[in-house]
Amino acid sequence: NAGVTQTPKFRILKIGQSMTLQCTQDMNHNYMYWYRQDPGMGLKLIYYSVGAGITDKGEVPNGYNVSRSTTEDFPLRLELAAPSQTSVYFCASSFRGWNTEAFFGQGTRLTVV
Amino acid sequence: GQSLEQPSEVTAVEGAIVQINCTYQTSGFYGLSWYQQHDGGAPTFLSYNALDGLEETGRFSSFLSRSDSYGYLLLQELQMKDSASYFCAVNRDDKIIFGKGTRLHILP
């Protein structure tokens, strides 16, 4: 059972480039989340989804986009990378948004230069 | 808005007991969760309090008081492997919102 899988693990982008961070889960969870974590800081919610076809903004959505075409996949798109987007990105999923634990992927360490 | 406050760092001795507090300014949330994160790793779930009171899971316990807008994580019989960051989080409106985390240092 793979759980939540994120790719890539590491990436260096130049300013203005675009990329998609991939996230897939095999637990048939309805809820999925994208967080970013800056060094020594907590997790900030970027976007979340309560099911296929439904997405909503979190605390820090600017500069990002998401889609949820299937239950399993929840990719995060950066259109015009900026140095402020240098961070570690975590994808997570849960069976419900409330009263259950969230399972996290291993993270993507992104550097924008 | 929603905000959760935790101490940034706590230091304790191996074998001792430590309490990590979390105060929050939000309402209408379903419950308070705790997660552990080792350096370079991903957060992992520790416990969840839906109701006021104490939840115990092995060496870890978590407490919630909605009337006081307060919760804590209690770690007993501390081991060196417990050195990590600990985050409280609220489950509200289909979202999970995290505090900034408490870095736990354990001295031998």
The least confident of A16-20, A88-92, A97-101, B61-65 is: A97-101
Mean pLDDT of B61-68: 93
Place of tokens 């990436």: A11
- Our CA-based measurement puts residue B43 at a distance from the nearest CA of chain A, in whole angstroms, of 6
> Contact B42/A35, CB-based, under 8 Å?
no
Contacts of B97 in chain A (CB under 8 A): 45, 59
Residues B13-38: tens digit of each pLDDT: 999 999 999 999 877 777 899 999 99
Of the two residues A7 and B30, the one the predictor is more confident about is A7
Give the residue on B whose Cα is nearest the Cα of A38. B100
**For A35-38, which contacts have Cβ atoms below 8 Å and span 24 or more sequence positions?**
A35/A89, A35/A90, A35/A91, A35/A92, A35/B98, A36/A60, A36/A85, A36/A87, A36/A88, A36/A89, A36/A90, A37/A87, A37/A88, A37/A89, A37/A90, A37/A107, A38/A87, A38/A88
Residues A43-82: tens digit of each pLDDT: 999 999 999 999 999 999 999 999 999 999 999 999 899 9
| C-alpha–C-alpha distance, residues B20 and B41, integer Å | 20
| C-alpha–C-alpha distance, residues B90 and B96, integer Å | 6
- Interface mutation target, options B2, B46, B95, B102, chain A, most CBs of A under 10 Å: B95
CB A92 within 8 A of CB A33: yes
- Whether residue A8 is preceded by a cis peptide bond, meaning omega within 30 degrees of 0, is yes
pLDDT at A98 over 90: no
